[in-house]
Amino acid sequence: MNRFDYVRPASIAEAIAAAAEPGSAYLASGTNLLDLMKGNVVRPARLVDLNHLPGLDGIELLPDGGARIGARVRNADLAYHPEFSRRFPAVAEALLSGASAQLRNAATVGGNLLQRTCCAYFYDPASACNKRDPGAGCDARGGENRLHAVLGWSERCIATHPSDFCVPLAAFGAVVEIEGQFGRREVPLEEFHLLPGETPERESVLAPGELVVALRLPAEAAGFAAHARYVKLRERTSYAFAVVSAAAGLRLENGVIAEARLALGGVAAKPWRARAAEAALAGARPDAASFRRAAEAALAEAAPSGDNAFKIELARRVAARALLLAAAGTPERLPALPASAFAPVPGASLHG
């Protein structure tokens, strides 16, 4: 690990000014950043500590049915918040399917948005990685790539975004509140993360020094609470990143789908909002045939980036499964293994 300066600002304005200096990085819980520093994957010259800043750790349930979540809120605190989990059950299920209990107790929602890819070549400084070292090449293209992207990838990068939490956020129209040197702005979560294109080193819309201060879920997202699920297929259910995941929400009226939401995880460098699938479901019957057609639409543009063609069919099946579970209704009790396709037994009361 390289030597670095440590800054403990007293206000958001001080933090932004400090982080605008080249080589700076924000530090919250550090569950991702410190691992990357120890492995010499990233080498910040300055850490700007956010842990003592006021106003970033609140969960505000808005009168219109939405919610505003401060960037320093811990993942576990948000997932176990009774009213939040009732309004946004798929978000809570996604949070509880991520990492381990110890990490969820430490990790923050803002840090979750900005966590780096789990690509092994990114984590290995001896490997060529355009994301870590622009222009170096991408060893994943000819290497072990069965878990890499099938949507939105480029010749420069085939990595995926690892977050579970961000998948239902994309599906349900979350907004990211950002503060920087030139004021505050808001960006839809769907547009916050960037596809690799020619510049895979640029992973989000954040400018130097800009800080995520909060996330906001709109009131209409709560309208899917009765029919919303998150499904995560992983190689080890206890603790692993998603091979493929899906967040689904349905609003049913008179036996048909009035509105649908669907987003996929583990398939691209960002959570993938499947708008073509949503359009295909509008006015359709909530049955297996409709969900299969929607899943086909969701993956219509998918292409393997290596030895991972299986992920396309797997993503179709996970998407259809998430929609089928959503149609059956949000359970009053969260499954003992949240988001697992193999966990039909109810667990601790969360939504009841």
Which candidate, 136, 141, 217, 204, places its Cα nearest to that of 173? 217
pTM: predicted TM-score of the whole model, two decimal places = 0.96
pLDDT tens, N- to C-terminus, the chain (352 residues): 899 999 999 999 999 999 999 999 999 999 999 999 999 999 999 999 999 999 999 999 999 999 999 999 999 999 999 999 999 999 999 999 999 999 999 999 999 999 999 999 999 999 999 999 999 999 999 999 999 999 999 999 999 999 999 999 999 999 999 999 999 999 999 999 999 999 999 999 999 999 999 999 999 999 999 999 999 999 988 789 999 999 999 999 999 999 999 999 999 999 999 999 999 999 999 999 999 999 999 999 999 999 999 999 999 999 999 999 999 999 988 888 899 877 664 444 444 3
d(CA 184, CA 109): 19
d(CA 174, CA 224): 14
Question: Measured between alpha carbons, how far is residue 115 from residues 156, 204, 269, 330 in Å?
Answer: 20, 11, 11, 29
Task: Give CATH 3.30.43.10 domain extents, the chain.
Answer: 1-54
Q: What are phi and psi of 105, to 5 degrees?
A: -70, -20
CA-angle at 341, arms to 337 and 345, nearest 5°: 50
Fold of 1-54: 3.30.43
Task: Give CATH 3.30.390.50 domain extents, the chain.
Answer: 226-340
> In terms of C-beta density within 10 A (0-12 exposed, 13-18 middle, 19 or more buried), how is residue 183 classed?
exposed
CA-angle at 343, arms to 148 and 217, nearest 5°: 65
Q: How many residues does the chain have?
A: 352
DSSP 3-state of 23: coil
Q: Which CATH architecture has domain 226-340?
A: 2-Layer Sandwich (3.30)
d(CA 74, CA 238): 20
